[in-house]
Amino acid sequence: MTLILGLEGTAWNLSAALVSEERVIHEAESTYKPLYGGIHPREAAQHHASELKNVVTQALRGAKKEGFSLNDIDAVAFSQGPGMGPCIRTVATAARALSISLKTPLIGVNHCIAHIEIGRWQCGTKDPVVLYVSGANSQVLAYRSGRYRILGETLDIGIGNALDKFARYLGLSHPGGPKIEELASKGTEYVYMPYVVKGMDLSFSGLTTSAKDAINHHKTEDVCYSLQETAFAMLTEVAERAMAHLWKDEMLLAGGVGANRRLQQMLQTMCHDRGAKFFVPENKYLKDNGTMIAYLGLLMFNSGETTPIEKSVVKPNYRPDEVEVTWRDKSK
């Protein structure tokens, strides 16, 4: 059995977890909540620095209660990127220190791929088209010949960011996504919004601007409803086209925005209509979590991949298609 300690802290959530092949042994977390406005990278990093000891200690104590000791840990995995520079640097420094003191290898993992692999593990889906929607990212991906290929993505901001920005404009606190969802559920009238799909790519920033304008003439609930309907229809269209072109009959939702019930419903309907299966993990595995980092670390460790300290520099713009996937298609 392999035991991996994973650290996540690319943005708002600091989390540490211990994972084996069989199960999640323990996860601990501490969330940064901005006093006002959005996530301030330096403040979030400061939060992570002051909470790291606490969160890691809690995770290790949890594992101890389950009968594991420090000596059982085979490697320390951390989010090498993408993410906010100050945040990922802080967590990477802690990961390096832990790997040195535990005398175990270090494994730098790609945060986006961790979102995908935890979903595949938890839902038992083999080869899905993935819709990865979070604060900073919105991508449609699928695995092919040793890499997760990005088939389509946002050309400007992530969908979560678009929702958070509009929520902030309404005076709602971060994160805004769940609050917009709540308001949208009470909307009844569709207000026109720009639907921007270019080939397989998407754009959301104009949508936020348009929602801000619409608020002067329409009910808040109706604007939230229209914002969601438009953005989620765009995502569903691109996700469906990817499935059609690749002849795939499984769809996996990943990332924090995946918690949205209306988005889940639209994707479910689309999949049902084309005879495909739709998979979505529990909310705790959609948002940023240490378990997904430990789990991808475990897959990489078991296929012989570790990261020497000199190659552990963080990558704020790390793209999932830069990673050679060595843990799938063992036969090749």
If the CB atoms of residues 105 and 119 are measured against Fe ion, the closer one turns out to be 119
CB of 3 to ligand ATP, least distance (A): 25
Task: Yes or no: say if 214 and 223 are a contact pair by the CB < 8 Å rule.
Answer: yes
DSSP 165-214: HHHHHTTPPSP-HHHHHHHHTT--S-------EETTEE--HHHHHHHHHH
Residue 170 main-chain phi, psi, to 5 deg = -80, 0
Q: Which residue has the tokens 């790609």?
A: 110
CB of 330 to ligand ATP, least distance (A): 27
Please give the torsion angle defined by the CA atoms of residues 301, 303, 307 and 313, in that order, rounded to the nearest 10 degrees: -100
Q: Which of 321, 252, 259, 308 is nearest to 110 (CA)?
A: 321
Residue 141 and residue 331: Cα distance in Å, rounded?
A: 22
Q: In sequence order, which residues have a C-beta less than 8 Å from that of residue 63 and are 6 or more positions away?
A: 3, 18, 25, 26, 72
Q: Which of residues 85-144 bind Fe ion (CB under 5 A)?
A: 134
Partner that binds at residue 181, options Fe ion, ligand ATP, none, CB closer than 5 to 8 Å by kind: ligand ATP
CB of 236 to ligand ATP, least distance (A): 14
Task: Yes or no: say if 142 and 149 are a contact pair by the CB < 8 Å rule.
Answer: yes
CB of 83 to Fe ion, least distance (A): 8
If the CB atoms of residues 10 and 90 are measured against ligand ATP, the closer one turns out to be 10
Partner that binds at residue 312, options ligand ATP, Fe ion, none, CB closer than 5 to 8 Å by kind: none
Structure tokens at 13: 């959530």
CB of 199 to ligand ATP, least distance (A): 22
Quick one: which of 288, 292, 295, 312 contacts Fe ion (CB under 5 A)?
Answer: 288
Task: Yes or no: say if 66 and 25 are a contact pair by the CB < 8 Å rule.
Answer: yes
Q: Which of residues 186-205 bind ligand ATP (CB under 6 A)?
A: none
Task: Determine if 201 is a binding residue for Fe ion (CB under 5 A).
Answer: no
Partner that binds at residue 105, options Fe ion, ligand ATP, none, CB closer than 5 to 8 Å by kind: none
Q: Which of residues 117-146 bind ligand ATP (CB under 6 A)?
A: 134-137
Give the residues across from 147 on adjacent strands.
144
CB of 317 to ligand ATP, least distance (A): 11
Partner that binds at residue 315, options Fe ion, ligand ATP, none, CB closer than 5 to 8 Å by kind: none
If the CB atoms of residues 73 and 292 are measured against ligand ATP, the closer one turns out to be 292
For residue 245, the SS3 value is: helix
Task: Determine if 86 is a binding residue for ligand ATP (CB under 6 A).
Answer: no
Q: Contact region for ligand ATP (CB under 6 A) — 41-49, 100-108, 160-168, 264-272?
A: 160-168
**Residue ranges in contact with ligand ATP by CB under 6 A:** 10-12, 83, 111, 134-137, 158, 160, 163-164, 175-178, 181, 255-257, 259-260, 287-288
